[in-house]
């Protein structure tokens, strides 16, 4: 995978957490979060995600922007501004995989939950390949 492969707009397909037993459960934005991830060719990144629907969720909105770099299968986001001030100035390191129009990012939660920092998996689909909810028939 090269940096050119990830440049563009991605729509959030799923945001899950891997529990201690290795099972997948809903992430902090609930069962059906919505979001956009934008990688520019000049190295900027912006991510916005929100809870949708009425189900339970730990949070209702997550977002940040900054710079990105890719080295092999490691994606690093250097956070410049964030909805969560504790993230500003940090580097968010994720394992990245690209399969066709699907991009997955795996990493550890910024803030521990229940005394542990769970692994979180965000799956994105290219925006041009995955229409917005109001564009679906």
Q: Mention every residue, 6+ apart, whose C-beta is less than 8 A from residue 38.
A: 8, 9, 10, 44, 45, 46, 47
Measure the CA angle with vertex 26, ends 80 and 77; round to 5°: 20
- DSSP conformational letter for 99: E
Of residues 109 and 1, more confidence is placed in: 1
Helix (H) or strand (E) holding 125: strand 119-126
- Mean pLDDT of all residues in 6-25: 90
Q: Residue 114's pLDDT is what?
A: 64
Dihedral sign, Cα of residue 76, residue 131, residue 32, residue 59: positive
Q: Residue 41's pLDDT is what?
A: 98
- Whether 45 and 67 have beta carbons less than 8 Å apart is answered as yes
Structure-token pair, residue 71: 């080295």
- Mean pLDDT of all residues in 4-20: 93
Taking the model in full, what pTM does it have? 0.86
| CA-wise closest residue to 24 among 102, 91, 103, 122 | 122
């Amino acid at each position: 995978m090269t940096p050119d492969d990830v440049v563009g707009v991605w729509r959030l397909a799923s945001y899950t957490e891997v529990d201690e037993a290795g099972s997948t459960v809903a992430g902090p934005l609930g069962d059906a979060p919505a979001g956009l991830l934008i990688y520019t060719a000049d190295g900027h990144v912006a991510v916005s995600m929100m809870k949708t629907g009425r189900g339970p969720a730990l949070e209702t909105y997550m977002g940040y922007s900054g710079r990105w770099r890719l080295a092999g299968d490691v994606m690093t986001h250097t956070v410049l501004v964030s909805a969560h001030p504790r993230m500003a100035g940090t580097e968010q390191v994720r394992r990245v995989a690209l399969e066709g129009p699907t991009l997955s990012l795996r990493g550890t939660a910024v803030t521990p939950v229940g005394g542990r920092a769970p692994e979180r998996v965000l799956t994105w689909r290219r925006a041009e390949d995955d229409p917005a909810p109001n564009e679906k028939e």
